[in-house]
Chains A and B, each alone.
Chain A
Amino acid sequence: KAGVTQTPRYLIKTRGQQVTLSCSPISGHRSVSWYQQTPGQGLQFLFEYFSETQRNKGNFPGRFSGRQFSNSRSEMNVSTLELGDSALYLCASSLRDREISYNEQFFGPGTRLTVL
């Protein structure tokens, strides 16, 4: 079974631009979560999508948004990029077959975003 895939793997943008990152979950997984990892703040939860609906949201500004498609693939968008948005963006997928279930969560390789 293929793992979680993320595209692109590397991205360089300039301040003020916007960016879209993509995540394809493991086949059969309906929950996709996004995380930001920086040296200073560590791994922080951005949001989770389940069956095309945002279920949970972390403490990030509205410039960070996402969506999920009917095939469970998810995209994350960051508008008006700032230097501080430079980070490794990771997505994770899980079965989440029940509302509250502690399923295993599998992470993708990440997208390294550099904002100049």
Chain B
Amino acid sequence: EPEVTQTPSHQVTQMGQEVILRCVPISNHLYFYWYRQILGQKVEFLVSFYNNEISEKSEIFDDQFSVERPDGSNFTLKIRSTKLEDSAMYFCASRRMTDTQYFGPGTRLTVL
């Protein structure tokens, strides 16, 4: 069964550094999402992406964040200058036409 994959599974970085989190959505899906979950808190929506552009973003998704679909398979989330409060689990999700999203296993980002 096709699944969403994410790399790396764990990323440790220093405050102020740039990180890129990578996702490979299910191949025939059209809509892509990033969510994050700070430890012990709820899963929060960051951004949705369709037809090579952002379709919606939350207040969390400020100028430090960007997303890209550089080729036909990858979907990336970049954080330009990480802060301590960016430490969280980041989930990628995708869907085709129905509203059911399929999630990847997540990338745990630790900012020191």
Whether chain B is bound by chain A comes out as no
